[in-house]
Amino acid sequence: MKQSIPIIALLFLALSSCNDKRQFPQNVLGYAPIYSSDANSSSISVTGATPYENPGKIYKYGNYSFQMDNGKGIHIINSTDPNNPQKIKFINVAGCSDISIKNNSLYTNNFRDLVTLNITDINNITETSRTADIFPVVEQLAPPVAGVYFECVDDTKGTVTGWTQKNIENPKCYRP
């Protein structure tokens, strides 16, 4: 399995192009990487509601909905009144890409770690367990969308945990 990872990475790089032969636009709607520093990657905290940046999967559990913000964390939405859902909290979990909930335990990934959070008391969410290094490292060298311009990844800024759409000036990378 470990030998197939470099082959997959090379194939992915071949599908993404960063070169000087292509005519790149001056300003275009494209994608920019969202970086996270490895120094704070295992820190999980709960804050007030925040705006969506890269929304993903929604999970309904009891009177609440939990929506991924890919690479950043999980929005908690009070959905007691389905006609008027209210974002109430945000769980900061760098590198997260999926969630599942069972018996008042929320399971998510924190980069390579599996983390379990106790959500019995939505006002006092706590980390109850962490299993380190069980998920493979997935390099996000390009956005998950084809046919787009994007800012090239700069490894000195940290690990890419997701992508956000925005106006980009002088992009040098394109994913066909």
Q: What integer pLDDT is reported at residue 137 of this predicted model?
A: 67
Rounded to whole angstroms, how far apart are CA atoms 93 and 43? 7
Per-residue pLDDT of the chain (176 residues; tens, 9 = 90+): 445 444 444 444 444 445 445 678 889 999 999 877 654 578 899 999 999 988 999 999 999 999 999 888 999 999 999 999 999 999 999 888 899 999 999 999 998 899 999 999 999 999 999 999 898 866 678 998 899 999 999 988 877 877 888 999 999 999 99
Contact 159, 38 (CB under 8 A): yes
What is the pTM (predicted TM-score) of this model?
A: 0.69
In whole angstroms, how large is the CA radius of gyration of the chain?
18
